[in-house]
A and B are shown apart, each in its own frame.
Chain A
Amino acid sequence: MAIKTYILVCGGTACQSSHGTELYDALRHELAAQGVENEAQVVRTGCFGFCEKGPIVKILPDETFYVCVKPEDAKEIVAEHVIKGRPVARLLYDASQSKANAKLEEIPFYQKQFRIVLRNCGVINPEKIEEYIARDGYAALAKALTEMTPEDIIEEVKKSGLRGRGGAGFPTWMKWNFTKQAAGEEKYIVCNADEGDPGAYMDRSTIEGDPHSILEAMAIAGRAVGANHGVIYIRAEYPLAIEHLETALKQAREYGLFGKNILGTGFDFDIELRLGAGAFVCGEETALLASAMGKRGMPIPRPPFPAVSGLWGKPTVINNVETWANIPVIILKGGEWFHKIGTEKSPGTKVFALTGKINNSGLIEVPMGITLREIVYDIGGGIRGGKKFKAVQTGGPSGGVITADYIDTPIDYEHLAELGSIMGSGGMIVMDEDDCMVDVARFYQEFCVDESCGKCAPCRIGTRTLLTLLEKIAKGNGEPRDIDKIKSVGRAMQKAALCGLGQTAPNPVLSTLRYFEDEYRAHIDERRCPAGKCKDLVRFVIDEAKCRGCTACARKCPVGAISGERQKPHVIDQNKCVKCGECFRTCRFGAISRQ
């Protein structure tokens, strides 16, 4: 009997961690146990993006979309849905509480999204090349090899207006063209999959869910610039992505789509994987190349740019994962088609990892030019716990904040730069009223101190100086002149540091200072943290009038700082208090306040 039903189970890291693997096994077991293993098939796909509601299950052909599915639900799904054709209502996504949304397109999280990069994520089994090919996979490579000249390929990418998705937004076709024109027989194609921005996992999901798209794109670029070797530099922290890439490479070679004489055209291309080892600076292209050559990942001054002298001193194209994933679609559908999506200067889409204090965290792909309001409220479902929106941080440790005043700004390279942030690789972290901007700036600065490679003084000394100043302010020892110091050190770093890491390291501090100077002032002038996050500036106090003397807080306090008789108001000994906040969370009468 033919397979009638396909059960797609998300195999992304977040879903797998929420018992997705057990769910996959349970579904397969149930199909066999209920005797329908010949009618339905379980398929493990890439990330659906809706990580908040994982594990995700989608049933084809009727496209029913189940959320928060547990292994125990497998029996019911098979018995009810697969055998009797009745959707399991309790597992459907229900936003309005009134009507269950059965299909993916009906769910608000997906309505404003437009998928190019993530076109195959959650659709195909990433470990099967046949499924990629069935979705027009490798058709772009065939077209590039048989119908197009290298000039045609570059022209198509130029028409698309595609800009580098790694953060800086440099036009992709120009990189390719420089490399093509550079002298030399041997050239390289490199994929930057060293996703180091904390709070971002776009590239991980793209590779895990659709590894062939990266391979295909790199081969197309190889044809365009005249390179026969590719290197994918990927974080060792992403084992599943590495495994899927290795499988994909093996299959592509077996199909004659990689290796010698691809599709009988005489064009040779193959790819080698090189693992990163946890250094944020290796996202910088010259540092990445050093690391890919087995050395310490330290940047070197540019020029010469990698397009002239890159891997092993040869002309090299470096693009990041998301940039590559766009290429096959551009070649197949044409640059003009692509250019119509998004805005004039920033065509196409952008993938963001929407995280932080948001209801629907997950991976989203939206057309450029969408407003932040649409992302936060329509897709993200608003702020968690009904709190007040404060800011969104984009661009990670190299970026800055966008505040509530600018929530209607269209998201593209130019507008973000105007606001003092950057597009970055796609981390989008939502912060609410409980988040202290001094603390956030301190967090990023600490990261930069750890990650500074130490080669140039502006970065090595500058990041440390900024961190010291921020820690001083967070502890309540700040002086008014510290703000000027931060600004002057920050500006010096922007101008003098050797590479992108050092030049952008002061951005989170300068950006938060620009929009939340009053918050910095409150720390300095009033020794007060308005968000109540900086522990040294917080005091927990018991309101005598409200305290019932239930002793709950005193029992919870880890350092015995709370004393008082039963049924009489308690007091907190401020000298003993370690400001852990346990009492505040424990009190049922609202008698403890944070000041």
Chain B
Amino acid sequence: MSDTATYTLTPELKAYVEERKSIPGSLIMVLHRVQEHFGFIPRQVAFEVADALDIPLAKVYGVITFYHFFKLKKPGKYKISVCLGTACYLKGGGDLLAELESKLGVGLNTVTDDGLFSVEAVRCVGCCGLAPVVTVNGSDVHGRLKKSDVQGIIDQYNALEAASRDA
């Protein structure tokens, strides 16, 4: 699925940028708000942010690319994050990642052709008691997983998707 949509700062985002403009060093806070809205930082919006904050575009991209949290590519509708913090790694987080990649047929940080799933590795989501952990869209936490649980998780979101299509 190629991404042909055009992105631009919404009125709410514009208002937020305007509000932060007078507070020094607000670029990261603005980028957070942008990513919260779009799920990533679209190129066109990065241009607009640079303009609005009166910061050179190179500086804006310098910050975006420095931090792991900011994404330049649109993630899948269901963004699967595999925790590779130490506790999860020792308990088989790496195997979960490999299994997800093979079941979905995608590599790390890529999106399935239907745009539904993307897989990424994250460093410690802070649920080490539940290791190994996978989160979906940041908020759905699946803990104490085995390799054999991976298909079930994928099925769960496929079913959710089918249900929302039927509705």
Instruction: Judge: A and B partners, yes or no.
Output: yes
Chain A residues with CB under 8 Å of chain B are: 13-14, 16-18, 51-52, 54, 195-201, 204, 236-239, 274-280, 291-297, 312, 353, 355-357, 361-362, 393, 396, 427, 429, 431, 435, 440, 443-444, 447, 450, 453
Known contacts A294-B63, A361-B128; can you find 12 more A-B pairs with CB under 8 A?
Answer: A14-B130, A17-B143, A198-B89, A199-B87, A199-B128, A236-B32, A237-B126, A238-B126, A275-B32, A293-B24, A296-B62, A297-B67
**Pairs A-B, 7 closest by C-beta atoms:** A51-B129, A17-B141, A199-B86, A294-B25, A277-B67, A201-B126, A198-B85
Chain B residues with CB under 8 Å of chain A are: 24-29, 31-32, 62-63, 66-70, 84-87, 89-91, 122-131, 133, 138-139, 141-143
Q: Is B129's CB under 8 angstroms from A291's CB?
A: no
Q: Which of B128, B131, B141, B142 has the most CB of A within 10 A?
A: B128
Q: Is B24's CB under 8 angstroms from A355's CB?
A: no
Q: Is A396's CB under 8 angstroms from B86's CB?
A: yes
Q: Is A197's CB under 8 angstroms from B124's CB?
A: yes
Given contacts A274-B28, A362-B129, contact A198 B86 (CB under 8 A): yes
Q: B128: which A residues are within 8 A, CB to CB?
A: 14, 51, 199-201, 353, 355, 361
| Chain A residue at minimum C-beta to C-beta distance from B123 | A198
B78 CB, min distance to chain A CBs, angstroms: 17
CA distance A275 to B35 in the complex (A): 13
CA distance A380 to B74 in the complex (A): 42
Q: B66: which A residues are within 8 A, CB to CB?
A: 279, 296-297, 453
Q: Is B24's CB under 8 angstroms from A312's CB?
A: yes
Q: B62: which A residues are within 8 A, CB to CB?
A: 296
Q: Is A356's CB under 8 angstroms from B141's CB?
A: no
Given contacts A204-B126, A274-B28, A294-B28, contact A443 B89 (CB under 8 A): yes
Give the contacting residue for A296; candidates B63, B123, B138; CB below 8 A: B63
Q: B127: which A residues are within 8 A, CB to CB?
A: 13-14, 17, 51, 201
CA distance A279 to B86 in the complex (A): 16
Q: B24: which A residues are within 8 A, CB to CB?
A: 293-294, 312
Q: Is A274's CB under 8 angstroms from B126's CB?
A: no
A-B residue pairs in contact (CB < 8 Å), sample of 14? A13-B125, A17-B130, A51-B127, A51-B128, A51-B130, A198-B86, A199-B85, A199-B86, A201-B128, A277-B70, A280-B123, A295-B27, A296-B63, A356-B91
CA distance A296 to B142 in the complex (A): 33
CA distance A356 to B128 in the complex (A): 8
Q: Is B90's CB under 8 angstroms from A429's CB?
A: yes
| Chain A residue at minimum C-beta to C-beta distance from B62 | A296
Give the contacting residue for B87; candidates A18, A356, A444; CB below 8 A: A356
